[in-house]
């Protein structure tokens, strides 16, 4: 009987770390710049932008935030704004009712409990409305230079395809990647994976024939032609 297509012997920790090192080197050479594409001026504005990016592209968020941040700049501005006014400004990012409510409540809590400053601790960030570990780690890395593993759909998909994790749960993926990626590279590595996912390793039609990681990628369903 022929073995199933997806069956293979699990890699050792040493093999996974070795592959991760080659992947890191490739991604660093390909994407030397690792600044978030989101447009913002302050840490609070970054937090707002990341909340808006849920189920929305960075490009669309960047179309919305210049006007948004001209009218509402600070936590006090958002906390004092009418909910309908916030909704109108962010409507095109989708799910604007919940996003507006979460942003307004975030602003209020930051004013009341954090003296108007975005907290720099993950546990305090995830306690804010609409802020999960992914959003918190983006803010910590981009605004404060505190490394974090950001697990979005690209990072989850590609780390699985490249054999860096067998987990599907984002939190388990996050902690697994923390074990094989140097801490100083956590934020940059994830952002580079996101860039790579958008450019090459797409969800439906990955560009495997032109992928620079093709030779070390164990993904069993590689595309043979573009």
Closest by CA to 79, choosing from 114, 53, 29, is: 114
Tell me which residue of 148, 151, 125, 152 sits closest to 47, measured CA to CA: 125
165 near 159, Cβ under 8 Å?
yes
Active site residue 84: no
Nearest C-alpha neighbor of 61 from the set 93, 96, 35, 94:
93
| 134 is annotated as an active-site residue | yes
Q: Which of the residues 17, 152, 188, 221 is marked catalytic?
A: 152
Residue tagged active-site, from 112, 134, 183, 222: 134
> How far apart (Å, rounded) are the C-alpha atoms in residues 206 and 197?
8
CA distance 99 to 55: 11
CA separation for the pair 50, 135 (Å, rounded): 6
Catalytic residues: 134, 152
């Amino acid at each position: 009987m022929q073995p199933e297509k997806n069956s293979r012997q699990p890699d050792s920790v040493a093999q996974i770390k070795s592959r991760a090192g080659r992947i890191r080197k490739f991604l660093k050479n390909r994407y030397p710049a690792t600044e978030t594409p989101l447009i913002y001026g302050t840490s609070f504005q970054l937090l707002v932008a990341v909340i808006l990016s849920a189920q929305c592209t960075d490009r669309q968020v960047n179309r919305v935030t210049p006007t948004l941040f001209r009218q509402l700049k600070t936590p006090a501005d958002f906390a004092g704004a009418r909910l309908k006014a916030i909704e109108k400004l962010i409507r095109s990012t989708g799910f604007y009712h919940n996003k507006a409510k979460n942003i307004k409540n975030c602003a209020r809590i930051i004013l009341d409990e954090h003296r108007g400053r975005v907290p720099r601790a993950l546990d305090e960030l995830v306690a804010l409305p609409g802020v999960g570990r992914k959003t918190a780690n983006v803010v910590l890395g981009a605004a404060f230079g505190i490394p974090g593993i950001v697990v979005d759909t690209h990072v989850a998909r590609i780390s699985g395809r490249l054999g860096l994790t067998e987990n599907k749960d984002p939190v388990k993926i996050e902690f697994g990647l923390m074990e094989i990626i140097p801490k100083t590279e956590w934020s940059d590595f994830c952002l580079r994976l996101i860039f790579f996912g958008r450019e090459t390793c797409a969800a439906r039609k990955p560009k495997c024939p032109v992928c620079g990681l093709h030779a070390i990628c164990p993904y069993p369903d590689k595309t043979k032609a573009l």
